[in-house]
């Protein structure tokens, strides 16, 4: 279990990103093989890319397949390399369940968890934010996902004021919740740079933007970076490459291009 | 792994419900203790309530704590008792991830999974519906959850037509998606009987309503049943009772009260 006395997640990932000159979060999803093989593959991917990443995000399918003991062991190795870890849960349940799931992930060793603001606060995510922040765990709020159908949810027009008939876009409401709830990050797909730009206006510098969708899904680092992305979550483009280290290096260099 | 040649999930749970004269789905969430103790407790709860339930729903926290091997073993026992099983995942990711998670659950032995229609279809839940139905696995779509904050998401007013300024409630759109996507069930909290009533108008007889929120959360069986609930998902009121069997019996009898 990670100690709550350490710095907040937001600061830890920023420090790692700056010292290693990379904004890349490696997304690892391994789920087609025996547990030991999968956790070995994950370890191997991290070792090959270690120099070029500032955090590791694991998918739920990976944990479902490798089980809690191997997950805890894998997280210990990742922490040993000085990296923070994110579980991509997209949490969206009632308070007691959310808290139990968050606690279980924290006990395994995760440093941060993704949550869906659609869940709402009272009896929903309130307990999770309280629990996670007490434990020094980070919370990344989904603001706009990277797939085409995301527009059916995150892109909906919401009637925010019945009298004035004023409408808001769902993701703008979610970005406001991320600020209000003191989230440690907001997830906005790199596939929609204009949305990244608009989300940044709301999030400012208090909530960094994590963008999935680069590479396989069609997003581009340069455009998304200009629009306001702080970290890129990249999986398949790196993990299925012949030489994951080389690809991670290219992405890492592109991700700090504007800084130099 | 369950065979895809068997009857659809919807038919299996209906048959079980009718033959056992109960509409109760037992929700098991055990997550505070060593893995073996937790899975023993789950087995014990099922044995005590077996006569009065038609299915078992497991929470993600339970699986996170007991691990895949023990989950598979537990599911074999539940199936051995003639019950179907639901994993309460509230799936809301991109297609590849959704499919990988669904596959992992199906390989463990689950018969059905809950999904959040907010995710959208293209690149979202489309792949999951295809995969699950090919494998004879059921899909339960969230339509309105049971907690107070659910109104911030499921209760939002959506501008469905920009020209006519026509608005719809989010849960009505979700209920329509459940019908269109051929979901095997819709989840509507028993804490809001008027929403159950309205959802039923949209869902008709093709998509049965599963209602959590009875007991601890304040929902009542009789009101919800009249409004249109087909199955009640009940956890803590049964699992924390001194005599879970007796409480399950009471709920079971109340749940078929209108049938007699």
A54 within 8 A of A83, measured Cβ to Cβ: yes
Q: What is the mean pLDDT of residues B124-131?
A: 97
Question: Is residue A156, in this structure, part of any structural domain at all?
Answer: yes
Q: Can you give the pTM of this predicted structure?
A: 0.95
> Residue B113 pLDDT more than 70?
yes
pLDDT of residue B2: 47
Is the minimum CB–CB distance between A158 and chain B shorter than 8 Å?
Answer: yes
CATH number at A126 reads 3.20.20.70
Which residues of chain B make contact with A122, given a CB cutoff of 8 A?
147-149
ipTM of the complex: 0.94
pLDDT of residue B7: 86
Dmax over Cα atoms in chain A, in whole Å?
59
Is the minimum CB–CB distance between A176 and chain B shorter than 8 Å?
Answer: no
Contact criterion met (CB < 8 Å) for A122 and B61: no
- Per-residue tokens: A45: 């991917």
Closest residue in B to A94 (Cα) is: B147
pLDDT in tens, chain A (260 residues): 445 557 899 999 999 999 999 999 999 999 889 999 999 999 999 999 999 999 999 999 999 999 999 999 999 999 999 999 999 999 999 999 999 999 999 999 999 999 999 999 999 999 999 999 999 999 999 999 999 999 999 999 999 877 778 899 999 999 999 999 999 999 999 999 999 999 999 999 999 999 999 987 777 899 999 999 999 999 999 999 999 999 999 999 999 976 54
Instruction: For residue B5, count other CB atoms closer than 10 A to its CB.
Output: 6
Summary mean pLDDT of chain B:
94
Distance to chain A for B77, nearest Cα, Å: 20
b vs e for A78-110, b when ≥16 Cβ sit within 10 Å of the residue's Cβ?
A: beeeebbbbbbbbbbbbbbbbbbbbbbbbbbbb
Distance to chain B for A204, nearest Cα, Å: 23
**Tally of structural domains, chain A:** 1
pLDDT of residue B255: 95
Question: Is residue A132, in this structure, part of any structural domain at all?
Answer: yes
Is the minimum CB–CB distance between A218 and chain B shorter than 8 Å?
Answer: no
Contact criterion met (CB < 8 Å) for A157 and B158: yes
A102 within 8 A of B59, measured Cβ to Cβ: no
Is the minimum CB–CB distance between B34 and chain A shorter than 8 Å?
Answer: no
pLDDT of residue B259: 56
Q: What is the DSSP string of B148-201?
A: GGGGGTTT-EEEEETTTTEEEEHHHHHHHHHHHTT-SEEEE-TT-HHHHHHHHH
> Model confidence over A76-103: pLDDT tens digits?
999 999 999 999 999 999 999 999 999 9
Question: Is residue A122, in this structure, part of any structural domain at all?
Answer: yes
Question: Is residue A68, in this structure, part of any structural domain at all?
Answer: yes
Domain that holds residue A123: 9-259
Question: Is residue B250, in this structure, part of any structural domain at all?
Answer: yes
Which residues of chain A make contact with B96, given a CB cutoff of 8 A?
29
pLDDT interval class at B258 (50, 70, 90)? low
| A residues 66..105 contacting B (CB < 8 A) | 67-69, 88, 90, 92-97, 100-101, 103-105
């Amino acid at each position: 279990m990670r100690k709550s006395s350490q710095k907040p997640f937001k600061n830890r990932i920023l420090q790692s990103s700056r010292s290693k000159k990379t904004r890349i979060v490696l997304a690892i999803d391994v789920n087609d093989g025996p547990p030991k093989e999968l956790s070995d593959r994950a370890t191997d991917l991290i070792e090959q890319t270690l120099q070029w990443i500032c955090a590791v995000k694991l998918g739920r399918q990976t944990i479902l397949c490798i089980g809690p003991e191997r997950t805890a062991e894998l997280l210990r190795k990742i922490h040993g390399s000085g990296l923070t870890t994110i579980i991509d849960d997209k949490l969206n349940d009632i308070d007691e369940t959310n808290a139990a799931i968050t606690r279980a992930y924290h006990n395994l060793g995760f440093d941060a968890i993704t949550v869906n603001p659609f869940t709402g606060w009272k009896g929903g995510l309130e307990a999770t934010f309280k629990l996670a922040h007490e434990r020094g765990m980070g919370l990344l709020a989904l603001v706009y996902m990277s797939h085409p159908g995301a527009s059916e949810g995150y892109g909906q027009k919401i009637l925010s004021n019945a009298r004035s008939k004023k409408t808001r876009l769902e993701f703008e409401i979610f970005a406001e919740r991320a600020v209000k709830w003191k989230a440690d990050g907001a997830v906005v797909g790199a596939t929609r740079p204009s949305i990244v730009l608009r989300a940044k206006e709301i999030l400012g510098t208090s909530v960094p933007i994590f963008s999935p969708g680069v590479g396989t899904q069609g997003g581009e680092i340069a455009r998304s970076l200009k629009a306001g992305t702080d970290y890129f979550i990249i999986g398949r483009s790196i993990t299925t490459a012949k030489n994951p280290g080389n690809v991670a290096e290219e992405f890492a260099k592109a991700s700090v291009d504007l800084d130099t």
